[in-house]
């Protein structure tokens, strides 16, 4: 299911209404999430959204695949909503993990992968992390474990949208992880077919998909602009977004 | 008490296929048979405490019952956020079993001391903190609780030798005319000296706390004296909740870095916990 311009507009409109939402990251991960959920429909895949701040993007995709209703999506960040600024898996179907603090998803994914092996399950676990999140030490602990236990049922997708470069460069991270024994692939994070191929290709080691993306993808004045990391649009900006997306 | 942990789990593990042992490179010798006989669900993960808690959450979410074991400060203080979020906030069960309570590793220095673990864990909703005072109590508590919720079993190197066969808030000597209750927490019962207690004092014992435990004292009790080997806070908070007018005096370690070395007894004595100091505290007004 292709992501429509009207859905990107809805994401921005809901962020405006809620005065909340990490739009830049939500837009950088949309194609990755769409690819993962397309595969998840008929395969045994557990998904953990470790970069929980991109929750609005996640909820949009969960709505596409029937886990979340229109009303729920429209209630984003309201007091009694099930959908907050970071996901709580006890309140929303289709995910595992109540994330927000970074560096928590990959270790839990390792635990799931170890458990799958222990109980003979053929399921895979896919975890989406941010590039800045790769600064976290807990992730490196998990990477060592993934290699040591040869978790061939574990796939870590990194949303490489460049966020980390202003603080701590992660450019050499893929090589380092490959040197530790993971299978590393570089994909265009906005090419869903390429992402699906990367997710499905068989491997003999845990897999890292280094997905290059554009923060704020699809809205020209947001693309690559760190100002849009955590910001909701004004009325005028929303009108510009509508015009750019061709949404009436 | 730690030996009992090995014995209890070695007995339960083959019978309960949901049990999943995760070691932080501690207890490897004691559990060597499990590591070799059940390699798929008994793992020495390594020295990576934050990830270890996350892994236990992942394992638990797939239906296993994790038992995570390492030294108290590394499990509770280093991996505190993982315990808070991955386990408690997510409502994912696990059994955290520590060694090295408070100043047990006296000679190893401040890095291995952990008198703050109980207050820290108390501040996480949904965690049961088990403070066994003997091997028997550990065994009873583990068998009673391991299948449920999030349990923190705090194993002490030194326990007491009293025959306590219950879990909870236990009256050891209930004197109807008593206005003062002396409350020993877990291993501090080893400091109990029968001669130090006046006949009009009642004696209570507590070996676990959780969100549901009721610490109501009889109406004749107007004040209590609490003896504990961790930083004060949780027990006093619960006593106030159930006994709003009660006067509470606490003998607990001061908040300080104990940067001297020496024996375990010396360390506890330096923070005010010895038979004589406990006696003195009990007899004081």
**HEC-encoded secondary structure of A53-110:** HHHHHHHHHHHHCCCCCHHHHHCCCCCCCCCCCCCCCCCCCCCECCCCCCCCHHHHHH
Residues of A with CB below 8 A from B91's CB?
90
**ipTM of model:** 0.95
Which two structure tokens, joined as six digits, stand for B285?
């007004």
Nearest CA-CA partner of B88 in B124, B63, B128, B121: B124
Distance of CA A57 to the CA centre of its chain: 8
pLDDT of res. B198: 72
> Which of A96, A118, A142 is opposite residue B61, by nearest beta carbon?
A96
Asked if A97 lies within 8 A of B53 by C-beta distance, the reply is no
Taking the CA atoms of B227, B229, B234 and B238 in sequence, report the sign of the dihedral they define.
negative
d(CA B99, CA B118): 13
Nearest CA-CA partner of B204 in B195, B192, B213, B212: B192
Q: Does A45 touch chain B (CB under 8 A)?
A: no
Digit-coded pLDDT (tens) for A191-242 = 999 999 999 998 899 999 999 999 999 999 999 999 999 999 999 999 999 9
Chosen from A107, A127, A133, A156 to mutate, greatest number of chain B CBs within 10 A: A107
Place of tokens 């008929």: A42
Residue A127: closest C-alpha in chain B: B58
**Closest CA–CA distance from residue A8 to any residue of chain B (Å):** 30
Which two structure tokens, joined as six digits, stand for B12?
């339960």
Dihedral, CA atoms, A212, A107, B87, A76, nearest 10 degrees? 10
Q: Does A112 touch chain B (CB under 8 A)?
A: yes
Read out DSSP for A4-15?
PHHHHHHHHHHH
Task: Kindly report the length of chain A.
Answer: 248
pLDDT of res. B284: 87
pLDDT of res. B281: 93
Nearest CA-CA partner of A27 in A219, A243, A156, A248: A219
Taking residues A17-37, report their average pLDDT.
Answer: 97
Asked if B91 lies within 8 A of A97 by C-beta distance, the reply is no
**Closest CA–CA distance from residue B7 to any residue of chain A (Å):** 24
> Which of A89, A115, A137 is opposite residue B59, by nearest beta carbon?
A115
Which two structure tokens, joined as six digits, stand for A242?
């509508």
Q: Does B64 touch chain A (CB under 8 A)?
A: yes
Residues 6+ apart with CB under 8 A from B47: B24, B25
pLDDT of res. B200: 77
Asked if B50 lies within 8 A of A141 by C-beta distance, the reply is yes
More confident residue, B196 or A165: A165
d(CA A231, CA A24): 8
Chosen from A98, A100, A108, A121 to mutate, greatest number of chain B CBs within 10 A: A108
Q: How many CB pairs under 8 A join A and B?
A: 97
Q: Give me the average pLDDT of each 10-residue run along chain B (285 residues).
A: 97 98 97 98 98 98 98 98 98 97 95 97 98 98 96 96 95 90 97 79 96 96 97 98 97 95 95 94 87
Chosen from A103, A110, A111 to mutate, greatest number of chain B CBs within 10 A: A111
**Closest CA–CA distance from residue A194 to any residue of chain B (Å):** 28
Quote the Cα angle for B43-B47-B52, to 5°.
60
Q: What distance, in Å, lies between the first and last C-alpha atoms of chain A?
A: 22
pLDDT of res. A202: 81
Digit-coded pLDDT (tens) for A107-134 = 999 999 999 999 999 999 999 999 999 9
Residues of A with CB below 8 A from B41's CB?
118
Flag whether pLDDT at A176 surpasses 90. Answer: yes
Q: Does B57 touch chain A (CB under 8 A)?
A: yes
């Amino acid at each position: 299911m292709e992501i429509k311009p009207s859905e990107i507009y809805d994401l921005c409109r809901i962020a405006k209404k809620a005065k909340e939402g990490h739009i830049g990251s939500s837009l950088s991960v949309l194609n990755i999430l769409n690819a993962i959920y397309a595969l998840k429909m008929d395969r045994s895949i557990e998904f953990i959204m470790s970069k929980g701040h991109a929750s609005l993007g996640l909820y949009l995709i969960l709505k596409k695949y029937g886990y979340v209703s229109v009303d729920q999506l429209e209630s984003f960040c309201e007091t009694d909503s099930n959908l907050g600024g970071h996901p709580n898996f006890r309140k929303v179907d289709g995910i595992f993990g109540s994330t927000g603090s970074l560096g928590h998803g990959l270790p839990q994914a390792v635990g799931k992968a170890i458990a799958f092996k222990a109980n003979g399950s053929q399921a895979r676990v896919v975890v989406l992390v941010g590039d800045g999140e790769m600064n976290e030490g807990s992730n490196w602990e998990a990477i060592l474990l993934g290699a040591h236990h040869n978790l061939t049922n574990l796939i870590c997708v990194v949303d490489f949208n460049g966020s980390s470069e202003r603080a701590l460069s992660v450019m050499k991270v893929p090589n380092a992880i490959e040197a530790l024994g993971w299978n590393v692939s570089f994909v265009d994070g906005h090419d869903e077919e390429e992402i699906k191929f990367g997710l499905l290709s068989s491997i003999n080691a845990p897999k890292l998909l280094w997905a290059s993306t554009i923060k704020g993808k699809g809205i020209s004045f947001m693309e690559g602009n760190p100002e849009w990391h955590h910001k909701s649009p004004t009325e005028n900006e929303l009108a510009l977004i509508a015009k750019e997306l061709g949404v009436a | 008490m730690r030996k009992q942990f090995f014995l209890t789990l070695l007995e339960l593990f083959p019978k309960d296929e949901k049990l999943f042992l995760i070691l932080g490179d501690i207890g490897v010798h004691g559990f060597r048979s499990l590591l070799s006989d059940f390699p798929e669900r008994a793992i020495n993960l390594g020295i990576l405490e934050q990830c270890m808690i996350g892994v236990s959450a992942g394992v638990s979410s797939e239906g296993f019952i994790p038992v995570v074991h390492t030294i108290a400060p590394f499990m509770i203080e280093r991996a505190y956020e993982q315990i808070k979020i991955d386990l408690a906030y997510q409502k994912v069960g696990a059994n955290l079993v520590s060694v090295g309570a408070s100043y047990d590793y006296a000679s190893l220095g401040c890095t291995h001391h952990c008198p703050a673990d109980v207050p820290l864990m108390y501040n996480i909703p949904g965690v049961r903190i088990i403070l066994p005072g003997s091997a028997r109590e550990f065994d009873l508590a583990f068998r009673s609780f391991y299948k449920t919720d999030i349990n923190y079993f705090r194993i002490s190197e030194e326990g007491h030798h009293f025959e306590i066969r219950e879990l909870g808030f236990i009256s050891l000597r209930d004197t109807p005319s008593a206005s003062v209750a002396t409350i020993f927490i877990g291993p501090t019962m080893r400091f109990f000296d029968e001669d130090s207690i006046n006949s009009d004092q009642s004696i209570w014992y507590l070996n676990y706390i959780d969100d549901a435990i009721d610490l109501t004292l009889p109406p004749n009790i107007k004040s209590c004296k609490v003896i504990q080997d961790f930083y004060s806070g949780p027990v006093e908070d619960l006593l106030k909740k159930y006994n709003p007018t009660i006067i509470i005096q606490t003998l607990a370690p001061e908040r300080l870095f104990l940067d001297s070395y020496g024996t375990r007894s010396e360390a506890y004595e330096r923070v005010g916990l010895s038979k004589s100091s406990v006696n003195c505290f009990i007899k004081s007004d």
